[in-house]
Amino acid sequence: MDQVERVVGESGTEGVGRVAVEAPPTEVSDKPVRRRYTIEYKLRILREAEGCREAGELGALLRREGLYSSHLSNWRGQRDRGELAGQSQAGRPPKPSGKVLEENKALRRENEQLRRRLKEAETIIEIQKKVSELLGTKLPAPPSDGSGS
């Protein structure tokens, strides 16, 4: 990279010349690192942002912290949904307890049994319809549940 500078020659005369300037080393990592914010930090920044009353104060806060206004929007939404309350660290929600898993299994078994019983009942109804057609008798219409289906 070249840079124009005022240079003084060996004879003491001044002039303008080009001087080679070495670029400063950059510290860019090979892989970008996603920033993670603790719940305490998010809540502290939201409190500071809500305390900003003067023009430009909020922008100064965002610049100082290296944040975007979208961070504040997202964090406000998390706070309003209760995602920032009662947790000390961000992360995955806790795994369900054994009681919840057992109840889930029991409900799945019951659901499967009810599906089998429904299929059996539908088969019986179809057979009754065919027998009725063969005998020439009319079956009463099933009661309407009001759903229109």
List the structure tokens of 16: 């303008």
pLDDT tier at 70 (50, 70, 90 boundaries)? very high
* Cβ atoms of 78 and 41 closer than 8 Å: no
Does residue 119 have a pLDDT over 90?
yes
Nearest to 72 by CA among 91, 49, 53, 38: 49
* Domain regions of the chain by residue span: 35-94, 95-138
Does residue 69 have a pLDDT over 80?
yes
> Over the chain, what is the mean pLDDT?
80
Is the pTM higher than 0.75? The answer reads no
Alpha carbon distances (Å) from 60 to 43, 51, 115: 18, 13, 62
